[in-house]
């Protein structure tokens, strides 16, 4: 462990309902001393739940190759891997016959589905999507990009018009997020699914930001597929899920060709090779799978289900209110929103601060207060540019007041966030706006970083 990141005892008063790794890590402040790190960038990656880590550690000695070994550890690992698949299916309330495919991430899942589109399929996607949901379809065929809506009802109406007007009226897929990774706002998934199906289209839900915060039911939402990432669901990096209808996946060429995806491979008389591919999820899981990653995702699914999404959402709503109300009388702070300030949302808020370069503000939160947030365009460039009122320019010099915001700052939290961390964030924002930074910063490779001690 680095000397700059040592463990300290956390006070009981700041404990969260679902303990996470790193909750007791102390980080140095440029102004002197240490403070418990406030991880408020969970929309990017959430810390792993302690329970998930403990489950993985308990399994690690029994690690073995799945589907291929006669030995005890291989059989145990195979059972664990397939049980993880069933756990995820239950977590998502999948239909009978739905497939659960383990992938590397939401990005990987949506690229897999893009590779499985039938010929002539047209994809409809709002410009508000994360790049993982916005970009994979460009290689697959025709894509219609829909403008950012001003309300949930406008989103449904715009989709209905676009689907009705498509020419030719062939197969179509709609891709939509469940919760914005920029504003946190909840999208009308059930209504969009109804519109898609009414016009002969299918729909895939990007649940990367929704699944960690709200229950996701494939049946109730009536979506055809759902994709999410383990690293946003309090599991370690490198695991993801695509779950839903099997037909398009079964009819497509394997996403990756290799062992595990193939049932039989035989030489032909002419010297070539004939292959029979699996018709189950294994068709798109070539290679030795990430057993530990799948197990970690399943463990997180169980932990969230047992904690109860209703209770978690109620607590998270209180944290969102604490941020918004705590900064309501700071006119320099402007929160970004598509559907309005009162729109339902998960624990994700983006904002700009008048007179501040967002990179500078985020750097000061980290260096002077031990608070980790994110600044930039959040892999959703068209949406953030629209919310900021136009194109953003290049990065400005650190510390230089900006006439127009170049990018934004995002604070995000979840089931493992202590109330104290949110209160510290509110105090820090108020102090920085009122008093300015206490340290000097410079631009290095386009980012603001604190000057070395002795240069302040």
Q: Which of 174, 123, 178, 128 is nearest to 150 (CA)?
A: 128
Q: What does the alpha-carbon distance between residue 72 and residue 115 come to, in Å, rounded to a whole number?
A: 36
- Kindly state the helix (H) or strand (E) to which residue 228 belongs, with its residue range: strand 225-229
Please say if the pLDDT value at position 123 is more than 50: yes
Q: DSSP character for 60? A: G
User: Between 455 and 413, where is the model more confident?
Assistant: 413
- Provide the b/e sequence for 87-118 (b: ≥16 CB within 10 Å): bbbebbebeeebbbbbbbbbbbbbbbbbbbbe
d(C-alpha 77, C-alpha 150), whole Å: 48
* 241 or 282: which leads in pLDDT: 241
Which alpha helices (H) appear in 92-207, and where do they start and end?
106-115, 131-134, 152-164, 189-198
pLDDT of residue 14: 37
- Do 47 and 416 form a contact (C-beta atoms < 8 A)? yes
Helix (H) or strand (E) holding 19: none
Tell me what pLDDT residue 5 has: 36
- The DSSP letter of residue 315 is H
pLDDT at 321 over 60: yes
Please report the DSSP string for 234-251 in residue order: TS-SS-EEEEE-SHHHHH
Average pLDDT for 358-376? 97
Could you report the per-residue pLDDT of 23-48, keeping only the tens digit for each? Answer: 999 999 999 999 999 999 999 999 99
Residue 328 pLDDT more than 50?
A: yes
* Distance from the Cα of residue 241 to its chain's centroid: 12
Alpha carbon 426 to chain centroid, angstroms: 24
In this prediction, residue 141 carries a pLDDT of: 76
List b or e across 311-324, with b for residues whose CB sees 16 or more CB atoms inside 10 angstroms.
Answer: ebbebbeebbeebb
Structure tokens, 342: 């009162």
What kind and span of H or E run contains 140? none
Q: In what order do the strands lie in the sheet with 6-7?
A: 6-7, 25-28, 34-36
* Residue 392 reports pLDDT greater than 90: no
pTM comes to 0.92
Q: Which of 45-54, 98-107, 239-248, 384-393 has the lowest mean pLDDT?
A: 384-393
In this predicted model, what pLDDT tens digit does every residue of 249-281 receive, in sequence order?
999 999 999 989 988 999 999 999 999 999 989
Average pLDDT of the segment spanning 89-117: 97
Percent of the chain with pLDDT over 70: 92
Long-range contacts from 207-211, C-beta under 8 angstroms, 24+ separation: 207/106, 207/178, 208/106, 208/130, 208/132, 208/177, 208/181, 208/232, 209/43, 209/177, 209/178, 209/179, 209/180, 209/181, 209/184, 209/346, 209/348, 210/177, 210/178, 210/179, 210/186, 210/346, 211/178
Q: Are the CB atoms for 369 and 428 separated by under 8 Å?
A: yes
- Alpha-carbon distance of 419 to 227, in angstroms, equals 30
User: How many Cα atoms are found within 13 Å in the side-chain-facing hemisphere of 55?
Assistant: 23
Predicted confidence band of residue 132 (pLDDT cuts 50, 70, 90)? very high
pLDDT digits 0-9 by tens, 393-430: 544 556 544 445 579 999 999 999 999 999 999 999 99
Average pLDDT on 51-74 reads 93
The per-residue pLDDT for 398 is 61
Cα distances from 197 to residues 97, 113, 126, in angstroms, run: 19, 18, 17
Q: Look up residue 446 and give its two tokens.
A: 């386009």
Which residues are part of the catalytic machinery? 379
| Cis upstream peptide for 168 (omega within 30°) | yes
pLDDT at 8 > cutoff 50: no
CA dist., res. 322 & res. 300, Å (int): 27
Asked if the model's pLDDT at residue 455 lies above 80, the reply is no
Mean per-residue pLDDT of the chain: 91
Q: What confidence score (pLDDT) does residue 391 get?
A: 52
Confidence of residue 7 (pLDDT cuts 50, 70, 90): very low
Residue 244 — φ and ψ, nearest 5°? 155, -155
Distance of CA 445 to the CA centre of its chain: 26
More confident residue, 140 or 430: 430
| Cα separation, 99 vs 122, whole angstroms | 23
Q: Tell me the backbone φ, ψ of residue 363, rounded to 5 degrees.
A: -65, -40
**pLDDT higher than threshold 50 for residue 15:** no
How many other C-beta atoms are found inside a 10 Å radius of the C-beta of residue 5? 13
Q: Does position 339 have pLDDT exceeding 80, yes or no?
A: yes
CA dihedral 152, 158, 164, 169 (to 10 degrees): -100
pLDDT given for residue 390 in this prediction: 72
Could you give the CA distance from residue 42 to residue 212 in angstroms, rounded to a whole number? 10
- Rounded to whole angstroms, the Cα distance separating 13 from 306 reads 22
Please give the helix or strand (H or E) that residue 420 lies within, else none.
helix 419-435
Q: Is the predicted pLDDT of residue 131 greater than 50, yes or no?
A: yes
3-class SS string, 348-413: EEEEEECCCCHHHHHHHHHHHHCEECEEECCCCHHHHHHHCCCCCCCCCCCCCCCCCCCCEEEEEC
pLDDT at position 122 is: 96
pLDDT band at 10 (very low <50, low <70, confident <90, very high): very low
Burial of 36 (0-12, 13-18, 19+ CB in 10 A): buried
Model pLDDT, residue 140: 77
| Least confident span in 9-13, 134-138, 309-313 | 9-13
Q: pLDDT value at position 282?
A: 87
Mean pLDDT of 337-350: 97
């Amino acid at each position: 462990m680095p000397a700059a990141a040592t463990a300290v005892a956390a006070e009981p008063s700041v404990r969260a309902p679902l303990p996470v790794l790193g909750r007791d890590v102390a980080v140095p402040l440029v102004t002197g001393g240490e403070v418990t790190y406030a991880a408020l960038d969970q929309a990017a990656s959430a810390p792993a739940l302690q329970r998930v880590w403990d489950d993985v550690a308990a399994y690690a000695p029994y690690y073995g190759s799945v589907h291929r070994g006669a030995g005890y550890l291989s059989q145990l690992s195979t059972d664990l891997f397939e049980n993880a698949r069933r756990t995820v299916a239950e977590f998502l309330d999948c239909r009978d016959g739905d497939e659960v495919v383990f992938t590397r991430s939401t990005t990987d899942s949506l690229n897999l589905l893009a590779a499985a589109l039938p010929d002539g399929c047209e994809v409809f996607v709002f410009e508000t999507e994360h790049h993982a949901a916005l970009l994979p379809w460009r290689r697959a065929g025709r894509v219609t990009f829909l403008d950012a809506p001003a309300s949930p009802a406008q989103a449904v109406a715009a989709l209905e018009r676009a689907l009705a007007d498509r020419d030719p009226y062939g197969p179509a897929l709609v891709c939509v997020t469940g919760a914005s990774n920029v504003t946190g706002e909840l999208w009308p998934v059930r209504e969009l699914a109804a519109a898609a199906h009414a016009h002969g289209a299918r729909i895939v839900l990007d649940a990367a930001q929704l699944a960690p915060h709200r229950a996701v039911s494939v049946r109730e939402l009536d979506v055809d597929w759902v994709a999410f990432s383990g690293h946003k669901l309090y599991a370690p990096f490198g695991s993801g899920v695509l779950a839903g209808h099997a037909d398009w996946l079964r009819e497509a060429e394997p996403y990756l060709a290799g062992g595990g995806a193939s049932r039989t491979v035989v030489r032909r008389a002419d010297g070539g090779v004939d292959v029979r591919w699996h018709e189950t999820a294994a068709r798109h899981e070539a290679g030795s799978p990430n057993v530990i990653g799948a197990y970690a995702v399943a463990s997180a699914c169980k932990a969230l289900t047992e904690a109860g999404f209703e209770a978690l959402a109620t607590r998270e709503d209180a944290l969102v209110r604490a941020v918004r109300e705590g900064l309501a009388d700071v006119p320099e702070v402007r929160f970004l929103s598509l559907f309005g300030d009162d729109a339902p949302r998960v624990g994700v808020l983006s904002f700009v601060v008048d007179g501040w370069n967002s990179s500078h503000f985020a750097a000061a939160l980290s260096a002077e207060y031990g608070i980790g947030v994110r600044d930039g365009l959040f892999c959703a460039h068209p949406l953030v540019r629209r919310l900021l009122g136009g194109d953003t320019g290049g990065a400005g010099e650190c510390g230089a007041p900006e006439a127009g915001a170049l990018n934004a700052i995002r604070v995000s939290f979840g089931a493992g966030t202590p109330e104290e961390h949110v209160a510290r964030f509110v105090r820090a924002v108020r102090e920085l706006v009122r008093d300015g930074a206490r340290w000097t910063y410079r631009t290095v490779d386009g980012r603001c970083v604190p000057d070395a001690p002795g240069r302040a």
